[in-house]
Amino acid sequence: MMEQADRRTMLKGAAMGAALLAPGAGLAAAGGDRAKLDRAIAANHDAAVARLRDWIALPSIAAEDRDMEKGCAHMMMLAKEAGFQKVERVPTDGAPGVFATMDNRARRTLGLYFMYDVKQYDPAEWSSPPLEGRIVDRPGLGKVMVGRGATNQKGPESAMLAALHAFRTAGIRPPVNLVLVAEGEEEIGSPHFAQIVRRPDVLAALKPCSGVIIPASWQSPVDGGVAINLGAKGVVELELVASGEAWGRGPAKNIHSSYKAIVDSPAWRLVEALGTLVTPDGNTPAIDGWFDKVRPLTPREKALIAGSAAKRSSADELKQLGVKQWVGETGWQETLERLAAMPTVNIEGLVSGYTGPGGKTILPGRAVAKLDLRLVPNQTMEDCVAKLKAHLAKRGYGDIAVNVSGGYDPTETAEDSPLIKAERATYERAGVKTSVYPRLAGSWPGYVFTSAPVSLPAGQFGLGHGSGAHAPDEYLLIDSSNPKVMGYDGATAGFVDFLYQMAMV
């Protein structure tokens, strides 16, 4: 790990870092306190990194019902240590959530959305143990921490907490009040998150907020650019189950494969049903009525995408994903329009029968496909699930079970909202190349905030870089070798800057 002096030099000496830490219009209220905060961030670096490593070592995995109470308790501890005066466990019909408030006697209040759960992992697929949070060299980037949750979402959330620790170390009151709501089921589609937010006391605390953010670390590793998203796609997570028992044909349990000559196969039945859900190339949903409520891109959204395309590199993004070409081989702008506007039907996993080493000649009695459906305005989760079931039943596949595990509607926030203006101002003052994009192609439960009864602007904010979410070798950049991309301390300083900017809205 770099020496303290080297980190301070990187933080203050690099072009972008200097731009971030230089006083600006949004930081005028900070006055001479800004230098104290910079020193506090640098002094707290090792403790903040250790805090993140300890958090990564506790994997709360909702899909496996693993350590959910421990994850909730740890989230509560982190909030208390960061200065939240009131921290409460919120029970739900699933995993518990956390509600915390910080009264800084400020004029404005900001909402924070955190998740303490992470995706599953297979250690055999990782080059570094997924729960150790090791710091390794990453050519072209610098030193990164590898671990499950490093970028999704513990890393960015820990940088937000590190900003609050900097205020405490410097003896400075944060410029806004804070309301934190955290859940432990984001990775299974947030099935009970609304129960947390819509509890009367939580709702009352959120009402005065100027907006809600989920911390992010999405700077491009090439040029440091950031896309500000004005929303996110919704999502439905579900599984389709075909079985001989429900079908009334095929085996009720696995039998010898020699009987395939005279016995129907639930696995083939599921494959045939899946084929009806999309066009032959697999790239466009073909569920009956799927596009009936889809709102086309507006002229303004198309203009925003054109501006984003001009600032982003197709080649760079293909390389980052390890992909050779986009669907349809269209132009870059058309590709980004599709990314924002196209709802999707995706197979996450397909399992039936024997999948171990070698062969095992059986005819499976059951087959399961795990799907996620991404939704765009004006689709809703309820309507889309109903259409999927009707589509299958119409084609004679009514026996295939549709088991929904979670999901939520799309979310949208106005471009001229105070939250988006504050994000843009913070990025621009930091010298970050910024574009505005209609909506994130991924999903987060922001609809709980943007829809009634909360009805607040909500979005993602953060500097720094991380990658590998849901995949092996997930990482967060700690010490950056690229002056255009913030390391951990720069990301922490970005949250400090953003709080002051929100205090002005």
Which one, of 93, 96, 97, 383, lies nearest residue 234 by Cα? 383
Looking only at the bridges linking them, the beta strands covering 231-232 and 177-183 are: unpaired
Q: What's the pLDDT at 104? A: 98
Residue 371 predicted with pLDDT over 80: yes
Residue 359 predicted with pLDDT over 60: yes
Residue type, 469: A
* Residues 416, 364 share a domain: no
* Residues 148, 247 share a domain: no
Is the pTM of the predicted complex or chain greater than 0.75? yes
Range of the domain at 141: 4-232+411-503
Q: What's the pLDDT at 320? A: 87
Order of strands across the sheet that contains 458-461: 86-90, 97-102, 177-183, 109-115, 212-215, 458-461
Residue 68 and residue 169 in contact, taking contact as beta carbons nearer than 8 Å: no
For 83-106, what is each residue's pLDDT tens digit?
999 999 999 999 999 999 999 999
For 166-212, what is each residue's pLDDT tens digit?
999 999 999 999 999 999 999 999 999 999 999 999 999 999 999 99
* Residues 350, 472 share a domain: no
* Residues 216, 127 share a domain: yes
Report yes or no on 328 lying in a domain. Answer: no
For 447-486, what is each residue's pLDDT tens digit?
999 999 999 999 999 999 999 999 999 999 999 999 999 9
Mean pLDDT, rounded, of the chain: 93
* Residues 436, 355 share a domain: no
Residue 323 predicted with pLDDT over 70: yes
d(CA 266, CA 268) in angstroms, rounded, equals 6
Q: What's the pLDDT at 30? A: 65
* Residues 151, 34 share a domain: yes
Q: What's the pLDDT at 195? A: 98
- Cβ-count burial 445-471 (b if 16+ within 10 Å, e if not): bbbbbbbeebebbbbbbbbbbbbbbee
* Residues 154, 114 share a domain: yes
* Residues 263, 215 share a domain: no
d(CA 168, CA 162) in angstroms, rounded, equals 10
Report yes or no on 284 lying in a domain. Answer: yes
Residue 21 and residue 493 in contact, taking contact as beta carbons nearer than 8 Å: yes
322 by Cβ neighbours in 10 Å (0-12 / 13-18 / 19+) ranks as: exposed
Sign of the Cα pseudo-torsion (208, 214, 215, 221, in order): negative
Report yes or no on 426 lying in a domain. Answer: yes
d(CA 40, CA 26) in angstroms, rounded, equals 20
Residue 329 predicted with pLDDT over 90: no
- Residue 372 CB coordination number (10 Å): 18
Q: What's the pLDDT at 72? A: 98
Q: Residue 453: which CATH number?
A: 3.40.630.10
Phi and psi at 51, nearest 5°, equal -65, -40
322: left (phi over 0), alpha (psi -120 to 50) or beta: left
* Residues 435, 400 share a domain: no
- Residue 362's pLDDT band (cuts 50, 70, 90): very high
Choosing from 360, 375, 408, the residue where a domain stops is 408
Q: Is 315 helix (H, G, I), strand (E, B) or coil?
A: helix
* Residues 481, 401 share a domain: no
Rg of the chain, C-alpha, whole Å: 24
Report yes or no on 125 lying in a domain. Answer: yes
d(CA 435, CA 466) in angstroms, rounded, equals 19
Phi and psi at 202, nearest 5°, equal -70, -45
Structure-block tokens of residue 349? 């996993």
d(CA 477, CA 207) in angstroms, rounded, equals 35
Q: Residue 401: which CATH number?
A: 3.30.70.360
Q: What's the pLDDT at 19? A: 37
DSSP letters for 158-201: HHHHHHHHHHHHHT---SSEEEEEEES-GGGT-TTHHHHHTSHH
For 264-308, what is each residue's pLDDT tens digit?
999 999 999 999 999 999 999 999 999 999 999 999 999 999 999
Residue 39 predicted with pLDDT over 70: yes
DSSP code for 440: B
For 127-168, what is each residue's pLDDT tens digit?
999 999 999 999 999 999 999 999 999 999 999 999 999 999
Total structural domains in the chain?
Answer: 2
- Residue 86 CB coordination number (10 Å): 15
- Residue 214 CB coordination number (10 Å): 24
* Residues 420, 392 share a domain: no
For 1-36, what is each residue's pLDDT tens digit?
333 333 333 333 333 333 334 334 445 556 678 899
CA angle 372, 374, 375 (to 5 degrees): 140
Structure-block tokens of residue 6? 């080297």
